[in-house]
Structure 1
């Protein structure tokens, strides 16, 4: 009975946190139309996120594309189909790597900063002071951050694709000696327009999730510096879990609607 009660309390606590997260998200979306109240904060957050994620995403994507080309290229070389490496690199980058890499960098670099910023405001009672002045802290702080994170995530996805393709090009063409024409012909043979659309949609959803979770953790953290640090760690972990789960759901639905093309 004691174990059952403990599990029930834990499950109730988790469901309560999920409900609070949805309340914050819906409240943040409710006044999205009032752009004048959050436009400049949105611009500042976009600039901040672009500044802290653009270089890391390049440093991650270049070796990632080369690694995919290395793993696939060796096998394709033995089978006499080395030009197929370009297809594997581009399909992997477009369908999975680009939205995941952009979301994880948004969560790791930008989301942690969001959580610590809002958490610091929370422990200094700035959020309560905003409410006293009839300013909704969710509309003023959370709404621009959610839209900024989703916008920057969409902009980072093409950057991941280009950088990863450059890394794959270096290994497949420069190292293995495949002709550039064969590399790019194979790269574009399996990628279709719907792949790019779904990739950008994924990046938008993942960035939105990262910002929503980060803001929620900051607004509900314990009122101490230790609480802010724990909230930052928790926000990053929860974001990663939600992003991976949502990626599986979206990919499964997409493959059911548009089965992968076979050469």
Structure 2
């Protein structure tokens, strides 16, 4: 009875331990040579290609919706000229990093998981290990690096796009003063906030890439298993990112 109970309790921890072990192996493999630059660049281009359009669409929806709602409140309070600062908070500090990696995990992460999952069920990963090729160094490290770089790029695009879109939205549609909009941005968003935004995108990118790679490398059950792993990778990534984002935000407010 006790053994069965222990097995039931320990079963959910097994994937967590496997993910942690793979994360340590990935960190170690990053310092091995030769580095797979070609593979990393190809993965960067692939992730950007599948993520850029969804990122822009989600950016416009989330950022402008938040700016519109908050600007209505600011207008009632007679503080519409602070809309630039609100746009900075929305697009740079909060929405930007989270939306970036949610989209990247949904687009790039699923593709990474499906690719590695297909290689796993075709026993390509086992063949690489037999030939003495480390799949972590050859496949996982370039994808983690690619995801982190793309997350930073898309985070910058969302931040800049949110500020520019918020400017036209606030000034031309809601009557904010152009100079006051621009001047209010540094009141709420400075270098420290930009650094925390980059840190968020960095952490989110690493988490999304590691989860996608781990589920791809641990696929079982043929093509159905690949499909299940892809769905699980997205759900697990978003589930993990919510408390991580909250933790980083709490640390940010505590430090600043």
Q: What band does the TM-score fall into relative to the shorter chain?
A: over 0.9
RMSD: 1.6
Tell whether the 8 Å contact from 1:50 to 1:152 is kept in structure 2 after alignment: yes
Q: How far, CA to CA, are the matches of 1:253 and 1:37 in structure 2? A: 34
Measured against aligned partners, the alpha-carbon deviations of 1:116-168 in whole angstroms (never above 9, x if no partner) come to: 00000010000000011110111110111111101110111110011112222
Under a length normalisation based on structure 2, what TM-score does the superposition of the two structures give?
0.95
2:63 alignment partner in structure 1: 65
Question: What stretches of structure 2 of length at least 5 have no aligned partner?
Answer: none
Of 145, 149, 152, the match for 1:151: 149
Q: Within the alignment, does 1:115 sit opposite 2:135 as a pair?
A: no
Q: State the Cα distance separating 1:101 from its structure 2 match.
A: 1.1
Q: Which runs of 4+ in 1 moved over 6 A?
A: none
Question: What stretches of structure 1 of length at least 5 have no aligned partner?
Answer: 259-263
Tell whether the 8 Å contact from 2:67 to 2:90 is kept in structure 1 after alignment: no
Q: Secondary structure at the residue paired with 1:36?
A: coil
Q: State the Cα distance separating 1:78 from its structure 2 match.
A: 1.0
Q: State the Cα distance separating 1:248 from its structure 2 match.
A: 1.1
Distance 1:168 1:27, change over 3 A: same
2:200 alignment partner in structure 1: 202
Of 160, 185, 188, the match for 1:187: 185
> 1:65-104 counterparts in 2 under 5 A?
65-104=63-102
> 1:36-51 counterparts in 2 under 5 A?
36-51=34-49
> 1:204-219 counterparts in 2 under 5 A?
204-219=202-217
Q: State the Cα distance separating 1:35 from its structure 2 match.
A: 4.7
Q: How far, CA to CA, are the matches of 2:203 and 2:8 in structure 1? A: 28
Q: How far, CA to CA, are the matches of 1:41 and 1:87 in structure 2? A: 40
Tell whether the 8 Å contact from 2:97 to 2:155 is kept in structure 1 after alignment: yes
2:161 alignment partner in structure 1: 163
Aligned residues: 256
